[in-house]
Amino acid sequence: MTDSSPSDLPADTNAADVGTDPTGSVATEVERALGYRFNNPALLETAFTHRSYCAEHPQVESNERLEFLGDSVLGLAITLELYARFPDRPEGSLAKMRASIVNAESLAAWGDRLGIGAALRLGRGEERSGGRLKESIISDAVEAVIGAMYLDGGFQPARTFVLQGLSEQVHEAGQGPGAHDYKTRLQELAAREWGAVPEYRVKGSGPDHERHYVATVDVAGLLSGTGTGPSKKRAQQRAAAQACRHYRDLADSGEFA
């Protein structure tokens, strides 16, 4: 849920495990990452089932209905939070803030932190084309998980999940344009703290029409981050965001005091 509390899914987690053993150890790891234990584990299984999997297994339900529900639950949770947190902001401002929080990029980045891509059930074709790394598929799965959580436990646990998972985005939305420019923030941080410049490395994979990038950033061997995305720029931004969060966590613990 929060950046520091949920553990990522284990590296060997795969869709087949989740699909064949929805109440076993893999599901337990998924729930630990989400910070929520499902009363009905089948809902979680459905939340991770992409429609491409259903094309090969017609008896299985896809996550599209849960995604539809989760989108509304997500929007309501964020709307209520913004309405309460910023009582002096007009409707137009609140709408822009919500849009900066609730979008495919932020949801996919959140899903990456949770390790959702590893738990997806995909069809063979989608698997071969790198579906586990696609921003749209991961963000849709996040919304489906929110919908599943709402059906399983009601609005409160779903709301808590949303607000903890997107807490940084909510905070930054109130700071105005530029708050999400993590590369600039990291560059300023590196210069201020160590007189250093962040160094980025980017690797691309996949066909030309569906390229996927993994970026890493290092600051003088003291701070690092990794990010993924459909473009070099987005992957670098996510890597910088992770490095900034890492710095914040270390500063809070007193390591950089």
Tokens representing 20? 């064949």
**Contact in structure between 256 and 223 (CB atoms under 8 Å):** no
Beta bridge partners of residue 217, listed in sequence order: 200, 225
* Rounded CA separation 236/228 (Å): 8
Provide the angle, in degrees to the nearest 10, between the axes of the packed helices 64-85 and 135-153: 80
DSSP assignment of 177-224 equals: TTTT-HHHHHHHHHHHHHS---EEEEEEES-GGG-EEEEEEEETTTEE
**Contact in structure between 36 and 153 (CB atoms under 8 Å):** yes
Q: Which residue has the tokens 């409160």?
A: 156
Which residues are within 8 A (CB) of 92 and not within 5 positions of it... i.e. 6 or more apart? none
Which residues are within 8 A (CB) of 168 and not within 5 positions of it... i.e. 6 or more apart? 3, 245
Beta bridge partners of residue 199, listed in sequence order: 218
Residues carrying an active site annotation = 71, 143
- What are the Cα distances from residue 92, in Å, to 67, 98, 219? 26, 10, 39
Tokens representing 58? 């017609």
